[in-house]
Amino acid sequence: MKRVLSGIKPSGELNIGGFGGALQPFLTIQQEYECFFFVPDLHAVTVKQDPKELYQRSKDIAAFYIAAGIDPKKCTIFIQSQVPAHAELGWLMETQTHFGELGRMTQYKEKSEGKDSVSAALFTYPALMAADILLYQATHVPVGDDQKQHLELTRDLAQRFNNRYGSTFVVPEPIIQSLGSRIMGLDDPSKKMSKSNPNRNSCVHLLDSPDEIRKKFAKAVTDSEGSVRLDWETKPAVSNLMEIYAVFSGDSIAAIERRYEGQGYGSFKKDLAEAAAERLIPIQERYREIVDSAELIAILKDGALKASEAANATLLRAKQAMGFVTF
Ligand code: ATP
Ligand code: LTN
């Protein structure tokens, strides 16, 4: 049986980076795999969060899953903190993780750079991410390119645990899409488009109006060459926009190159904004219907029950394997 676990942190307003790298791939993956899609709120609090915003964003992410087309009848959708097994196995995985391994994580280095102090949880969070995945015996984990290193660590930890205590965890494989797995900032194509970036023009948010979407793409940096051509080395900004275009339109990069041959960037950027708006508007409408509904609460309650059942079974095995007293 092929099983997937993945999630999007409620750490900021969802943008088209998370859409291309995670949400859109989830939609095709749900056809083929048994899926658990969660809202990793325990990960969001590794950096400071306003309680009201965390509450709203956690519901937002869950509502976006459903609004984008994840089918709650087929998939288990839940909020991480409602399944206590995550925190418990997270602690056990910390005991299996070396300090040096965590120090090598590039996401930790980036997020702690230039800060006077960061939380201990920001440092140990890859062990919690490993627990998230291993609890569900996930065979596959769809993620954006930036999570590759955390997935490698998860695999190492699963193997280490299995070698020490006997076969307990499935060793998961990452699924990284070839298109949309690394969407860069619209203001700076050397930086990943990030929910935590305070510059609102660096990304298109999933709730932006068509007008805001047009304005943001119109402002997006390009280059002086004036040709719509994919070349990440010399034309990173245009290549990034082309990839976003491909994510929203479903067209291939070659087809996009052919369509805009000899045309400069004007109509390309306009069409890109239309393609994005066309895809996002129906998602926004459905999001508004569901975000404050009893339907969403019912889905999340049911999801937490189903997830707990699967997670508790694995947690029990892991605790028994380690020698904890269980009855
Ligand atoms: P933050 O910026 O606050 O650290 P994040 O966007 O990196 O958040 P998540 O929202 O939890 O973190 O990411 C959810 C999924 O979306 C992950 O699989 C991540 O790899 C993917 N993702 C996030 N940003 C991008 C991006 N710019 N391009 C492609 N995939 C992305
Ligand atoms: N670490 C991820 C979010 C995340 C996740 C997971 C993704 C937490 N646990 C388990 C996939 C599977 C991030 O920062 N984007």
- Give pLDDT tens digits along the chain (327 positions): 799 999 999 999 999 999 999 999 999 999 999 999 999 999 999 999 999 999 999 999 999 999 999 999 999 999 999 999 999 999 999 999 999 999 999 999 999 999 999 999 999 999 999 999 999 999 999 999 999 999 999 999 999 999 999 999 999 999 999 899 999 999 999 999 998 788 889 999 999 999 999 999 999 999 999 999 999 999 999 999 999 999 999 999 999 999 999 999 999 999 999 999 999 999 999 999 999 999 999 999 999 999 999 999 999 999 999 999 999
Q: Are 202 and 188 in contact (CB under 8 A)?
A: yes
Q: Which class in CATH covers the domain with range 3-182+293-322?
A: alpha beta
Please report the sign of the dihedral spanned by the C-alpha atoms of residue 306, residue 310, residue 312, residue 313.
Answer: positive
Phi, psi of 205 (to 5 degrees): -85, 155
CA angle 161, 1, 134 (to 5 degrees): 25
Q: Which class in CATH covers the domain with range 200-287?
A: mainly alpha
Q: Do domains 3-182+293-322 and 200-287 have the same CATH topology?
A: no
Token pair listed for 59: 């519901």
Residues with CB under 6 A from ligand 1: 8-9, 11-12, 17-18, 20-22, 143-144, 146-147, 181-183, 192-196
Domain boundaries, the chain: 3-182+293-322, 200-287
Q: What is the pTM of this model?
A: 0.96
What number of H helices and E strands is found in the chain?
14, 5
Token pair listed for 7: 């999630």
Report the C-alpha gap between 5 and 214 in whole angstroms.
34
Does ligand 2 lie within 6 Å of residue 238's CB atom?
no
Report the C-alpha gap between 155 and 130 in whole angstroms.
8
| Cα 55 to chain centroid, rounded | 18
Q: Which residues sit opposite 192 in a β-bridge?
A: 184
Q: How far does residue 326's CA lie from ligand 1's centre (Å)?
A: 38
Burial class (CB in 10 A: 0-12, 13-18, 19+), 148: middle
Report the C-alpha gap between 186 and 15 in whole angstroms.
12
Could you tell which of 65, 105, 125, 150 is best to mutate to test the pocket of ligand 2, judged by most ligand atoms within 8 Å of the CB?
Answer: 150
pLDDT of residue 196: 78
Helices (H), 69-135: 85-94, 99-103, 106-112, 120-135
The residue annotated as part of the active site, out of 9, 59, 111, 216, is: 111
Ligand found nearest the CA of 182: 1
Q: Of ligand 2's atoms, which has the minimum distance to the CA of residue 142?
A: 11
Report the C-alpha gap between 194 and 203 in whole angstroms.
8
Listed residue (132, 133, 77) closest to 302, CA to CA: 77
Relative to beta strand 3-7, strand 76-79 is unpaired
Report the C-alpha gap between 231 and 34 in whole angstroms.
37
Between the alpha carbon of residue 9 and those of residues 12, 58, 135, 309, 314, the distances in Å are 8, 8, 18, 22, 23
Q: Does the annotation count 192 as an active-site position?
A: yes
